[in-house]
Amino acid sequence: MKDRKIIPKIIWFFISKYKLRFIFLIGLAIITGILESLNVALMYPILSYGLGVTTTSNAFINFIDNFARFIPINDVLVKYCILFMVLAFSVFVTKLSYHFFSVNLTAKIVIDAKQSVFKKCINSDYQFFIDNKQGEILYKTSTAPTQISTLLNIISNSIVELILSVSVVVLLVSMSLKGTIILLVGGIGYYYLTKHLSLKIHYLSGKRQLKSGQTETVVVNEFTSGIKQIKVFETFDYWKDLYDEALHTYWKYARKSAFWSKVPEMLLILLMYVSIGSVVVFIKIQYPGNFASTLPLIGTFAFAVFMILPKLANFGRYRMSFMNILPNAETVYSLLKDETYSKVKNGTKEFVGLKSGIKLKNVTFAHKERDILLEDLLIDIKRDKITALVGGSGSGKSTIVDLLLRLYDVDKGSVTINDINIREYDIFLFLKKVGFVSQDTFIYNSSIRDNITFGGNYTEQEMIEAARLANADEFIRNTPEGYDTVVGDRGMRLSGGEKQRIAIARAMIRKPEFLILDEATSSLDNISENVVQQAINKVSKSCTTFIIAHRLSTIQNADVIHVLDKGKIVESGTHRELLRKKGKYYELYNIQRHKDEEKEE
C-alpha cells in the first residue's frame, strides 16, 4: 500500500456500522488489562511475605490492600494468595466475555462484507464482468472478504494486549523507573525491528496475493470450465505449465514470507533472557548492601518480563499478520468504493406493457477502448411482429441484443420503448416482460424445475405449460425423476437441444411481451435444430419477437429481416424481397446453401 494513511479508513469502513459494539469491546479490554496488571502487582507482596522481606508501598499495593481487607483471614500471605486467585478468575471471565463478543462481532462484519461485495457485483454494470476474469471475481467475493475476520481478530487482540502492557508498565515504573527503562529500550527496539520486517512481509504478501488471485485461481477455473475441449485437443502439458508457473511464482514469495515471519519469535526469546539478566544486574548495582531484600522486586520484574515481552512479540506477529492480510481488505475496500461500473443508472418509470414497439434510433456504440461497432443504426421492432437480424460474424448483432437488454447504454442516439427512452424505465420491470434465449445457454447444477423457474415463483401448471410451449415436456418426463432430475454442472447430463428447450421454457414461463432469440439454434445439429425451431415458431406467435439468426432458413417467415454489415443496416425486407434484390442477404443465403449441400454430400 503506497499511502499508509488509508489504513485507518479501511478499518473504520468495516467497523463503523458496529461502532457501539466495538466501544463495548474496548471497555472490556480496559477492564481485562487493569485486572491482569493487578495480578502482576500481587506478585510483589506475595514474594515479600513469603521471603520475610519488608515491602515498599506504592499506588498499586495500596489499591490491592483495600480489597484484601474484605477477606476474613489473618494470615496475610494466604489472604494475598486468595486475592491472586480471585483476580485470576476475574481475568478469565472478562477475557472469555471479550472473546465471545469479539467472535460474534467479527462474524457479523464478515457476513456484512460478503453480502456487500456480492450485492456490489449484482449491481455492477455488465462491463464489470467483461473486464474482470472469473477467477478474480471469485477471489474478490469469496476469499478476500473471509480474511477480514483474521484482520479484525488481530485488531481486537492487539487492543487487549496493548492495554495490559500499558498497565503493567505503569506498575513497573511505580516500582523502579530505571529498571522499567531497560525493559522499554529492549521492547522499543524489538518493535521497530518487527515494523521493518512487517513492511517486507506486506510487500511479499502483496506479490503472493497477486499471483494467487489473478493467476493460479484463474488457471484452475479456466481449466475446469474448458475441460471438455482440453481433453479433446489434449493440451494437458500446456495447462500444467501454466499452473506450475503460477504455483512456483506464488511459493517463491510465500517461502520468503514464512522465513521472515519466524525471525521476530527468535529475537523475542533472546530479548527475554537479556532483559531479565540486565534488570538483575542493575538492581544488584543499585542495592549492593542487601541483595535478599531486592528478590521480591526482581521476581516481580521477571514475572512482568515473561508477561509483557510475549505481548510485544504478539504485537510484532500481529503487525506482520496484519500487513500480510491487509491486501485482502484493500481488495474488498477498493471494490466496494469503486464507482467505475455504476454508469448504467436505473430509471423510475414503470413499464406496463409493450404498446407500439421498440426502436433503435441513430444508435452509435463502441465497446470500451475499441473501435466503433454500431454507427447511426436504425431498427424498428414492431409490436406483435417477428423482426429478424442477420449479418456476418463481428458485425454487432449480439451487441444490439445487449443494448435492448440495457446491459450497456448507447454512446449516441437512443433505444426507445413505446417512444420513451429506455433509460427512463425501471429496467427490472421491463425485463420481467422480456424472454431471452441465447446461443450459450446457462444451465446450472440443479433440477430441471429450478432451471425453468429460475428463482421465480410459478405454479406447477405454469411450469408445465411453458415446457410444452418449448417442446420440452415430453423429454423431461422421460428423464429419471422428471422435472426434479438434476442436470449436472453446466447441464452436462443434457444434450444441446434439450438445454435450449429448457432455456425457451425458462423464457416462456415469464409470459413475455418481448422475446429475444440470440442465435438460439446455431450450435445444434439438424435434428435438434428442427425440434427447437418448432418450439420457436410456436412461442413467437404469442409475443413480439426479435431473432438474431445464424441459419437463414430459420427466419424465412419473419415479418421483416434487417441485414447488418459493419455496424450499419444495409438491407431490410421479407425473405422473398431480399432474395429478389440479390444484395448482401442473397449473398449470405447462397453461401449458407452451398455449405449445407456440401454437408449432405
Classify residue 24 by burial, with Cβ atoms within 10 Å: 0-12, 13-18, 19+.
middle
Distance CA 22, CA 315 (A): 20
| pLDDT at residue 260 in the model | 67
Average pLDDT of 536-563?
Answer: 83
Does residue 534 lie in a domain region?
Answer: no
Taking 50 as the threshold, does the pLDDT of residue 115 lie above it? yes
On the CB side of 85, CA atoms within 13 Å amount to 6
- Residue 255 sits in the same domain as residue 329: yes
- Residue 416 sits in the same domain as residue 476: no
pLDDT in tens, 263-278: 766 776 777 777 767 7
Q: Which helix (H) or strand (E) holds 303?
A: helix 295-337
- Residue 75 sits in the same domain as residue 133: yes
Taking 50 as the threshold, does the pLDDT of residue 286 lie above it? yes
Taking 90 as the threshold, does the pLDDT of residue 414 lie above it? yes
Residue 531 to residues 33, 474, 498, 514, 516, Cα–Cα distance (Å):
75, 12, 9, 22, 18
Does residue 412 lie in a domain region?
Answer: yes
| Residue after which a domain boundary falls, among 289, 305, 337 | 337
Is residue 15 helix, strand or coil? helix
The gap from C-alpha 142 to its chain's centroid, in whole angstroms, comes to 4
- Residue 238 sits in the same domain as residue 314: yes
Does residue 350 lie in a domain region?
Answer: no
pLDDT in tens, 21-31: 888 988 888 88
| pLDDT at residue 215 in the model | 57
Note the pTM of the prediction, 2 decimals: 0.67
What percent of the chain lies above the pLDDT cut of 90? 14
Domain that holds residue 149: 6-337
- Residue 521 sits in the same domain as residue 496: no
- Residue 191 sits in the same domain as residue 111: yes
Distance CA 3, CA 540 (A): 58
What CATH number does residue 129 fall under? 1.20.1560.10
- Residue 75 sits in the same domain as residue 160: yes
Question: Does 160 or 479 have the greater pLDDT score?
Answer: 479
pLDDT in tens, 184-212: 776 666 666 666 666 655 555 555 555 44
| pLDDT at residue 213 in the model | 45
Question: Does 495 or 67 have the greater pLDDT score?
Answer: 495
Nearest alpha carbon to residue 153 among 25, 10, 257 = 25
Taking 70 as the threshold, does the pLDDT of residue 576 lie above it? yes
- Residue 421 sits in the same domain as residue 450: no
| pLDDT at residue 298 in the model | 73
| pLDDT at residue 404 in the model | 92
Does residue 348 lie in a domain region?
Answer: no
Indicate the pairing of strand 420-421 with strand 386-391: unpaired
Q: CB within 8 A of 278, min separation 6: which ones?
A: 182, 186
Q: How many domains does the chain have?
A: 3
- Residue 328 sits in the same domain as residue 407: no
- Residue 266 sits in the same domain as residue 386: no
pLDDT in tens, 290-328: 666 667 777 777 777 777 767 766 776 677 677 778 888
SS (H, E, C) 25-50: HHHHHHHHHHHHHHHHHHHHHHHHHH
- Residue 504 sits in the same domain as residue 517: no
Distance CA 588, CA 601 (A): 20
Backbone dihedral angles phi then psi of residue 359, each to the nearest 5 degrees: -130, 140
| pLDDT at residue 600 in the model | 54
Which residues are bridge partners to 390 per DSSP? 563
Does residue 342 lie in a domain region?
Answer: no
From 2-6, 136-140, 348-352, 378-382, the region with the lowest mean pLDDT: 2-6
What CATH number does residue 506 fall under? 3.40.50.300
Average pLDDT of 243-248?
Answer: 77
Average pLDDT of 121-128?
Answer: 84
| pLDDT at residue 241 in the model | 80
| Residue after which a domain boundary falls, among 306, 337, 368 | 337
Does residue 74 lie in a domain region?
Answer: yes
Distance CA 489, CA 486 (A): 9
- Residue 72 sits in the same domain as residue 61: yes
